[in-house]
Structure 1
Amino acid sequence: MSPVAASTPARPGPRLGAMLAGLGLSVALVACGTPRPPVNGLLPEPPAAAPALTRVAAQVDVVGPRGPLNQARREQALQSAASQGKAELLKRQIAAMSSFGDVDLYAGNEARLLIDGPATFAAMFDAIGKSRRQILLESYIIEDAEVSRRLADLLLQRRAQGVQVAIIYDAVGSLGTQDAYFDRMRQGGVAVCAFNPVNPLKRTRYHKITHRDHRKMLVVDGETAITGGINISAVYSSGSGGIGSRGSRKAAKPDPGPRPASSASAASAPGDATSAPDRGWRDTMVQVRGPAAQALHTLFRETWTQQQCEGAIMAAAEVQPAARAAGQQLMRVVPSTPNDTENRIYTLLLGSIRAAQRSVYLTMAYFAPGKDMVDALCDAASRGVDVQLILPSQSDFAPVMHAGRSHYERMLKAGVKIHELQDAVLHAKTAVIDGVVSTVGSSNMDWRSFVFNNEVNAVVLGEDFGDAMTRMFQRDVAASQTITLPRWEQRGLVQRGKEFFSSLFEQWW
């Protein structure tokens, strides 16, 4: 159902009650104080022009299969990415990244898009089946469903064959999973760790309950990694009906990241067009081979240590990754945590949008980005950049969707094109900017991802992967409904009210 149709007036009683409930929630959230911004101080200006390759190479650190590269080899790695096409745009984008601080790049990678659950689970099971030394799995949700039981069987089999296996799951995201599921793996020798347990008696030290691990990644032998937005959950088993899928299925469990418990009253009522329907889930992962996989391996080990999980994890040096390059892709691995002074995923996206010259294509499951990000999108469109967003037409958590819609009118007037995905629950978090900066990750474009969660995005630099991302974006546009300004201006008072109340607390969703 379209946003305009969704705003058809409801009965006065329920509508008034919902508005009063929203107002009460608003007052309560204001009393809690405003979350800190994901970036501090003045934003650096984007580069006026693309700098010389030598200068760009001096501004970044690059690690290859055999370790850090010197200036000459950094230039070679950058030149290899630039030779794919759009070299001036690539250099400008890397310079914009470096204006926010250190940029660590990884050369010699192979990167492959995995679209929807079936393709992702097939790749995960294949990598696990070929493991020789170690399997590391980290996921916000590990649901006790058929796919996760098959996963547990395979992990236990590999452990019995001498492969080290370690799992981190988020205690809130996986709250519905019985302890018996994890206990079975523990009994089979798998090291299992709950991130920030809800029960304070099970915590080794104090962590804020709002600090959640929203990452999804698998690392095998320190050589192959898979990361992005897909949890170990039944909702992905048959895909969204798009490429890489096998039809649609009932959406059984959401993953918006943890939301305030008090916000339940603001969610859509049964029968509301914004509630999650019986659809497949549209999501994206990326499979990586090469030094970027080692970076994800290190990131897992850091979380394991910080959470004081039981059991030692082999270091990257012990894993002995291949000495030869797995491919030609230049990559970044961008993690973020609530302890960061500035959120690196936020600065990556913001800086890239502000430096964009040709195109900005974003696909976001949860879009409540704040003023700076909306300013950047509108400014880019106003200077002639092709800015297009794919956003959800229905959501398992309505307030964040309505908060995002509160920005539609301004963005449409600035020339931003907005499409809402139909017939599937959108859960992907991807972007391709100027065709040369591509990111696939766990981070939504909202405050919960930017301020409260552990997240990680994989970034691939260069036109080759950018072309694949653009083709995927275009297929999703074809499955979406475009929102036009005249039509949006005709939406009803109920829809406008939802946007108004949700936007008041955009920084809490």
Structure 2
Amino acid sequence: MNRNNSSARVFALAMAGGFLLFDGCALKMGKQPRQEIAPLYSARSPEFQQAAGSLLGPNFVSGNAITTLVNGNQIFPAMLGAIRSAKRSISLETYVFEDGEIARQLTEALAERAQAGVKVNAILDAQGTQKMGRQNLERLRNAGVEVAKYHSALWPDPRRYNNRTHRKLLIIDGKIGFVGGVGIADLWTGNADSPQHWRDNHYRVTGPVVAQLQATFATSWLKTRGQVLHGADYFPPLAPTGPYLAQAIRSGVHNENLDLMYLLGIASAQKTLRIENPYFLPDDLMRKELAEAAKRGVKVEVVVPGKRIDQKLARLASRRHWPELIRAGVRIFEYEPTMVHVKLMIVDDIFVSVGSGNFDNRSIRLNDEANLDVLNRSFAAQQTHLFETDKRRSRQVTLDKAGGLNFANPMQQTAGLVAPQL
């Protein structure tokens, strides 16, 4: 045995062991789905809507309008405009808040509204906002913004540090909501036209489903501050504003909503299943469901980041399982221009899920997530157009390429070992 390879393998395994020792302590101890969900009905059927409403929390509600915002050039002006229009309340929950031009603009907009008497509540993940900058935090607090840091210390329970809020929520006056995958950082600005500017979608929402988004934020506020947000400032009457049927689902350490939603969507697919996600690390059951969908004739396509990804280990771990999926008929594409951070699932051109949830164990079992599910052909067509545009800028991974991965490589082994924790 080559001594260098042997030493590298020992180092890789030690890395994985240490990672698992700390990271594994936060994994859920409760029950997770262990068996396939039988494909009993399609996403077009009333049974699907009933099952999704019953299993995932709130029921679908009608009368919503949803605007798709593509990349920072559309996303941040819409968010800043909504903040500046606030009259009664602003609720912000985010994972990434990194000092820079857009962070300073958002900070100033929130501070100005708080000084004008608007109730501004912000939940900032302690890990994701380490680069926020003291001046931004002090500006918010001095202006009267109620800031809650999510799980800011290891003590008294180190396991909770691994539970992050990964939600990206902004609710204005309880009437306008924003949900998606975008954090507050300059790398999300622009139009994804260079490797320094990421590709992402975000969504502006009005109508009755905004109350469900506000309720998701309210659960986080109760968890971090012990305060109940209620009353018309946060939950005003909401009239219909559009044609979309939608539900807002939340997932965290105490429920499996994200896992169930993905499994239910895959099981209900009869013709097409499109997935776009930056961290595509499905577990054994999810991979089995995807393979079974492809084998029963569903056109399964997945768009993921290529070499321009911020988490190299996640890409290594993901690629380790691609040959089995490709052999089953799943088509995988790597987006090439820049980092793609879109989180999107489209089932049979009618059911769409967007939000903060990744296709990995961290999102499914460790983090707090928020997704918006929509049952509407027109909305699905819009998202399919964006998906196909991204797919055209991607390279399909063929079996000879995927099969050529070196599984004896120490880093490949490490990636495989830590994949359940990513």
TM-score by length of 2: 0.91
Query: Counterpart amino acid of 2:290?
Result: L
1:433 counterpart (347, 350, 366): 347
SS at match of 1:425: coil
1:166 counterpart (121, 143, 147): 121
Cα distance, 1:26–1:405 mapped onto 2, change above 3 Å = same
What residue number does 2:38 align with?
46
What residue number does 2:258 align with?
345
**1:209-220, aligned counterparts within 5 Å?**
209-220=161-172
Cα distance, 1:13–1:227 mapped onto 2, change above 3 Å = farther
1:234 has 2:196 as partner: no
SS at match of 2:162: coil
**1:107-256, aligned counterparts within 5 Å?**
107-198=62-153, 200=155, 208-241=160-193, 248=194
**1:292, distance to aligned residue in structure 2 (A):** 1.4
What residue number does 2:247 align with?
332
* Runs of at least 5 residues in structure 1 that lack an aligned partner in the other structure: 1-11, 51-87, 242-247, 249-277
Aligned residues of 2:178 and 2:202 also touching (Cα < 8 A) = yes
What residue number does 1:484 align with?
398
Aligned residues of 1:139 and 1:215 also touching (Cα < 8 A) = yes
Query: Counterpart amino acid of 1:493?
Result: N
What residue number does 2:200 align with?
283
Aligned residues of 2:407 and 2:413 also touching (Cα < 8 A) = no
**1:224, distance to aligned residue in structure 2 (A):** 0.5
Aligned residues of 1:105 and 1:331 also touching (Cα < 8 A) = yes
What do the CA deviations read for 1:454-501 (whole angstroms, capped 9, x no partner)?
111111111111001100100000110111113333x25378654443
Cα distance, 1:328–1:224 mapped onto 2, change above 3 Å = same
**1:154, distance to aligned residue in structure 2 (A):** 1.4
What do the CA deviations read for 1:198-217 (whole angstroms, capped 9, x no partner)?
364xx8x9871111111111
- Give the distance between the partners of 2:376 and 2:304, measured in 1 at CA: 25
What do the CA deviations read for 1:348-374 (whole angstroms, capped 9, x no partner)?
011110121011100111111111110
Give the stretch that moved more between structures: 108-117 or 394-403.
Answer: 394-403
Aligned residues of 1:359 and 1:434 also touching (Cα < 8 A) = yes
SS at match of 1:365: coil
2:10 counterpart (9, 13, 20): 20
- Give the distance between the partners of 1:364 and 1:392, measured in 2 at CA: 8
The structure having more radius of gyration, on CA atoms, is 1
What do the CA deviations read for 1:34-55 (whole angstroms, capped 9, x no partner)?
83488535547435346xxxxx
Q: How many residues align?
A: 418
TM-score by length of 1: 0.76
What residue number does 2:293 align with?
380
1:418 counterpart (310, 326, 332): 332
Aligned residues of 1:44 and 1:100 also touching (Cα < 8 A) = no
1:457 has 2:412 as partner: no
Cα distance, 1:140–1:42 mapped onto 2, change above 3 Å = closer
1:363 counterpart (270, 276, 289): 276
What residue number does 1:300 align with?
217
**1:176, distance to aligned residue in structure 2 (A):** 2.1
Aligned residues of 1:37 and 1:451 also touching (Cα < 8 A) = no
What residue number does 1:268 align with?
none
Q: Could you tell me the percent identity over the aligned residues?
A: 27
- Give the distance between the partners of 1:167 and 1:147, measured in 2 at CA: 16
- Give the distance between the partners of 1:283 and 1:19, measured in 2 at CA: 36
What residue number does 1:271 align with?
none
Aligned residues of 1:218 and 1:227 also touching (Cα < 8 A) = yes
Aligned residues of 1:93 and 1:356 also touching (Cα < 8 A) = no
Cα distance, 1:497–1:357 mapped onto 2, change above 3 Å = farther
- Give the distance between the partners of 2:294 and 2:68, measured in 1 at CA: 27
- Give the distance between the partners of 2:133 and 2:95, measured in 1 at CA: 15
Query: Counterpart amino acid of 2:230?
Result: A
- Give the distance between the partners of 2:411 and 2:76, measured in 1 at CA: 37
Query: Counterpart amino acid of 1:141?
Result: V
- Give the distance between the partners of 2:408 and 2:77, measured in 1 at CA: 41
**1:396-411, aligned counterparts within 5 Å?**
396-411=310-325
**1:336, distance to aligned residue in structure 2 (A):** 0.8
1:467 has 2:381 as partner: yes
- Give the distance between the partners of 2:20 and 2:117, measured in 1 at CA: 53
